[in-house]
Amino acid sequence: MHVATEGPLGVIGRAWALKHDVPLMTSFHTDFPRYARDYHAGVLEPAVWKWLAWFHRPAQMTHTPGDGTRAELLTHGIGHAVVWGRGVDSNHFNPGRRATACRRWLAGGDDTAIVLHVGRLAPEKNLDVLVEAWRMAHATLGQRVAFALAGAGPLSRRLHAKLPFARQIGFVDRETLATLYASADLCVLPSKTETCGLVALEAMASGLPVVAANAGGLKESVRNRETGFLVSPDDPRAYADAITELVDQPLERREFGAAARRVAVERDVRPEDAELLAQYAAISGKPERTASCAA
């Protein structure tokens, strides 16, 4: 059985697997210990780690999508952590989805550079830094750039008030998201809590350079000055300067975007899916062709 969450459903699945002596595989994809800090409950962080160690201890394998996260899990006693889950669907997310109508809806002018942020609008995403960075970049670039936020969450109204010049798109489905990525020009991701940074890989697969926090899983996906920029996570000026450079230097922006696409294709999800089936077969003791899982 593969239990994909440490929440109530995961606890139920874990208990069932242990009771019935079913091989157990778990996943760690959300950095709950750091979330405790972002929600002003840092005192609970040691307790969160104890809970996670208890939850994952019986598993034969714990998936996590980043090398840095795996190292941290090992440090906290989760000794069977393996890296898996950082592949992107590079067929679905691709530059061919770029749409003139979408660009005009977002920016108004064909020559306007579109700066995109995608993600949950919540405290753990370091959005105060995004706000300051976008204000600085907007003040410098004026009408040459348009800003767009895709996502929903508890900070939606606050961001609307603080970034009145940005188009707030809200939640979008997967099909629309692929068009949105491809129709933008660069993506900005300041989160410090990503275990993988799948959003970065989706943007890169769509041909976008990414300006990202040099932290967590994002620094394992974005290559500084090759596929975008990695900047100090809490330095809004660094983000603004990177945005300004990519807007001012369209040739560099296109070169970074093409390199980003190549890197993302190397991280395509299909080899990972095959690896997962092989892992299921190994822990179940069955031939790979008959491997199956329950969620």
Which carries the bigger pLDDT value, residue 225 or residue 70?
225
Amino acid at residue number 164: P
3-state secondary structure of 148: strand
pLDDT computed for residue 283 by the predictor: 85
Reported as type and span, the H/E element at residue 186 is: strand 186-189
pLDDT at residue 294 is higher than 70: no
Residues 136-151: what's their mean pLDDT? 97
pLDDT computed for residue 71 by the predictor: 87
How does residue 135 score in pLDDT terms, banded at 50, 70 and 90? very high
Instruction: Let me know: does 202 contact 134? Beta carbons within 8 Å.
Output: no
pLDDT computed for residue 247 by the predictor: 98
pLDDT computed for residue 293 by the predictor: 34
pLDDT computed for residue 172 by the predictor: 96
How does residue 86 score in pLDDT terms, banded at 50, 70 and 90? confident
pLDDT computed for residue 288 by the predictor: 54
223-270 pLDDT, tens digit each:
999 999 999 999 999 999 999 999 999 999 999 999 999 999 999 999
Running DSSP on this structure, what letter comes out for residue 259?
H
pLDDT at residue 289 is higher than 60: no
pLDDT at residue 290 is higher than 50: no
- The closest alpha carbon to 153, from 191, 115, 99, 207, belongs to 191
Q: What is the maximum span of the chain, computed from C-alpha positions, in angstroms?
A: 63
pLDDT at residue 17 is higher than 50: yes
* Residue 108 CA: distances (Å) to CA of 65, 116, 144, 181: 38, 15, 11, 17
Q: Which domains does the chain have, with CATH numbers?
A: 2-87+268-290 (no CATH), 95-266 (3.40.50.2000)
185-215 pLDDT, tens digit each:
999 999 998 888 899 999 999 999 999 999 9
Which carries the bigger pLDDT value, residue 245 or residue 109?
245
Number of neighbouring beta carbons within 10 Å of residue 180: 22
Running DSSP on this structure, what letter comes out for residue 224?
B
Number of neighbouring beta carbons within 10 Å of residue 214: 16
pLDDT at residue 276 is higher than 90: no
